[in-house]
Structure 1
Amino acid sequence: MRKRLTVALVALGAVLLTVSGRAESVSQIQFQSRYVWNEEFDGFGGLSAIEVAANGRDFLALTDRMTLIEGTLLRSGGRITGVSVQRHKRLQRPKGVTLKHWKRDSEGLAQQADGAFYVSLERLNQVWRYPRAFGAPTVMSSHPDFHRFAQNAGIEALAIDRRNRVYAVPEEVPDNHSQLPLYRLNSKGWQILYYIEASDGFSPVGADFGPDGLFYLLERRFSGIGFRTRLRRFDLNAFDAAGEVLLRTGIGTHDNLEGLSVWRDDAGLIRLTMIADDNFKFFQTSEIVEYIIAPASDTAHR
């Protein structure tokens, strides 16, 4: 039944991938592989974020019910062929913090080079820092906007640049702004660095900095019968609010892609690894999708 419904959703949409944006992007991003991931342990599903190590194999994945998964991507010919899970466990809460079940909505994940990582909780409108995978977190400072986010439309996209600075983008434009704020955390707290143009009904759900130093933003749009995906990138040294559209898919090409990790493989190509949230629904799919960017678009940005 699940397979038939999934096929039906795909058939209703534009199954063939459509790539748009600047002219040089049309032939530079290429679909690489798709792997449907299933596990039997309690709590698997709702995958909202992924961080892939520089080796392209080791990863952290986060569910939207605060389960962290450590594992390895199995590959053959560069394509993902399987997943090996090393361990999985519910994340700890900060000391003294209790959460009702409906507020355990962990969405964003961003990892530093030393292994420490940040998690955003969308309904709680907070960001927590974990010094290690299963240790106790610290609640980071807030921003006045964080209390103005619409219900279930807070921070889903987190990223860390090569200087270990944390960035965040909300799923929807706050009611006191006309565009999407790009927040950056520094010693004075969260500050708005730029505004990103919100367009075509797409909402930010994941982000990462690539090895090229550019900021990549994953967005999704739900049409009522399936999901569409858009991927944009931005040069924060020469900021353009519209960004460069690298990928725009038709309805049903992929499921609900929410997590993004950008890294460089052994051949020197930038890979975009994305993960889908099945919302714990039998008719949706937990899938890992990967694209590559050809060298022509991979110019140095410092």
Structure 2
Amino acid sequence: MQHRIKRRLTAALLPLWVVMSCAAPAAQTEPVLQAEPSITWHHPAPWFGGFSGVEIAADGSRLITVSDRGRLVHARLVRADGHLVGLRVVKQVPLKGPGGKPLRKNDNDPEALARDKTGALYISFEHNHRVARLDPDSGITTPLPKHPDFARLGVNAGIEALAAHPDGRLFALPEQSVPSGQDFPLYTFDGAKWTTGAKIPRRGPFLPVGADFAPDGTLYLLERTVTPLGFRSRIRSFDLTAPDLGETILLTTGPGQYDNLEALGTWQDAKGQTRLILLSDDNFFLMQRNEVVELTLAKPGPQD
């Protein structure tokens, strides 16, 4: 029992960021993620919770998120002295099929959101694995063509991460590779068809759950694993133009440091710094919470 308590305390006292590099030894020149204190998002409606995808407004003032219960939620981010202190729901709409009818249960398990340079919004679904264009006001979804691999994805291991590149291409990443245990295929949609190009290296037990591109084309990937002591999260960044993908580990959390983080969105503040906002999926379970975490990407100062 004492050993177990010690491990829990160790996890709780871990620093809020960990810097590592896969391409080279950890160095002072690597960027770091600095974390604000996390907050819990509350709202009384029964549909509220289970958030698994998010898109952030360019100025960081608003977000759109999607719930496992088929709701698209628009919210305003409340700040005090530049720090995130709360979120307020502006409106919500149920997700619908192309004809405007409510989605059937097996078709209504959304996992990720992405917004391209034109402002168009896209959404991915599990079970009936697909990616669709999404009208943010009506909630109507219009499916895109499918890649043949989508039919081979596991029932609960579909397209968990969706991100739109600044050049207009849409990228999708499954939670599990096909076949299982391999690197993760990065599917690319050019507006007409899906292709498979780069593969995201599989590192340890972590699985993809969210992604977004920054304006400079850097891909930020949120990953998760489950341990007996709680959830662990990892964030990696990639440069898809680099031969080795420029892979860098920016954050690795200890067990239980955060809740079940599943959604990642980026924005740039007035100083030009990239910020990441993460949302947790509480699975509509009383022992979990809808946690919101904001991280800032910054260069470390001179070393002593």
TM-score, length-normalised on structure 1? 0.89
Shift of 1:276: 0.3
Match of 2:40 in 1: 36
1:33 touches 1:291 (CA, 8 Å); kept in 2?
no
2:31 touches 2:250 (CA, 8 Å); kept in 1?
no
Match of 2:204 in 1: 200
2:225 touches 2:233 (CA, 8 Å); kept in 1?
yes
Mapping 1:137-216, distance limit 5 Å: 137-175=141-179, 178-216=182-220
**Among the aligned pairs, what percent are the same residue?**
38
1:269 touches 1:295 (CA, 8 Å); kept in 2?
no
Q: Secondary structure at the match of 2:36?
A: strand
Does 2:244 correspond to 1:244? no
Match of 2:131 in 1: 127
**Counterpart code for 1:249:** T
Q: Secondary structure at the match of 1:59?
A: strand
Does 2:255 correspond to 1:256? no
Match of 1:14 in 2: 11
Provide the C-alpha distance between the structure 1 equivalents of 2:45 and 2:249, rounded to a whole number of angstroms: 37
Match of 2:69 in 1: 65
Instruction: Return closer, same or farther for 1:281/1:250 CA change in 2, 3 Å cut-off.
Output: same
**Counterpart code for 2:111:** E
Shift of 1:96: 8.7
Q: Name which of structure 1's ranges 140-149 and 174-183 shifts more when overlaid on structure 2.
A: 174-183
1:47 touches 1:278 (CA, 8 Å); kept in 2?
yes
Q: Secondary structure at the match of 1:158?
A: strand
**Counterpart code for 2:274:** I
Instruction: Return closer, same or farther for 1:208/1:182 CA change in 2, 3 Å cut-off.
Output: same
Shift of 1:66: 1.5
1:196 touches 1:242 (CA, 8 Å); kept in 2?
no
1:14-71 CA-to-partner distances (Å, cap 9, x unmatched) read 1213513122476722112311001011200101111111111111011112101111
Q: 1:268 aligns with which of 265, 272, 279?
A: 272
TM-score, length-normalised on structure 2? 0.88
Structure 2 gaps of 5+ residues are none
Structure 1 gaps of 5+ residues are 1-7, 298-302
2:53 touches 2:262 (CA, 8 Å); kept in 1?
yes
1:48 touches 1:258 (CA, 8 Å); kept in 2?
yes
Provide the C-alpha distance between the structure 2 equivalents of 1:141 and 1:296, rounded to a whole number of angstroms: 44
CA-based RMSD: 2.3
Q: 2:281 aligns with which of 277, 284, 296?
A: 277
Q: Name which of structure 1's ranges 266-275 and 170-179 shifts more when overlaid on structure 2.
A: 170-179
Shift of 1:212: 2.6
Q: Secondary structure at the match of 2:162?
A: strand
Shift of 1:123: 1.3
2:96 touches 2:102 (CA, 8 Å); kept in 1?
no
2:95 touches 2:102 (CA, 8 Å); kept in 1?
no
1:197 touches 1:241 (CA, 8 Å); kept in 2?
no
Shift of 1:131: 4.1
Shift of 1:151: 2.0
Provide the C-alpha distance between the structure 1 equivalents of 2:49 and 2:75, rounded to a whole number of angstroms: 15
Match of 1:112 in 2: 116
1:232 touches 1:246 (CA, 8 Å); kept in 2?
yes
Q: 1:92 aligns with which of 93, 96, 101?
A: 96
**Counterpart code for 1:111:** R
Instruction: Return closer, same or farther for 1:295/1:133 CA change in 2, 3 Å cut-off.
Output: farther
The total of aligned residue pairs comes to 289
Provide the C-alpha distance between the structure 1 equivalents of 2:86 and 2:148, rounded to a whole number of angstroms: 43
Provide the C-alpha distance between the structure 2 equivalents of 1:33 and 1:271, rounded to a whole number of angstroms: 14
1:278 touches 1:285 (CA, 8 Å); kept in 2?
yes
**Counterpart code for 2:255:** I
**Counterpart code for 1:19:** V
Shift of 1:240: 2.2
**Counterpart code for 1:288:** V
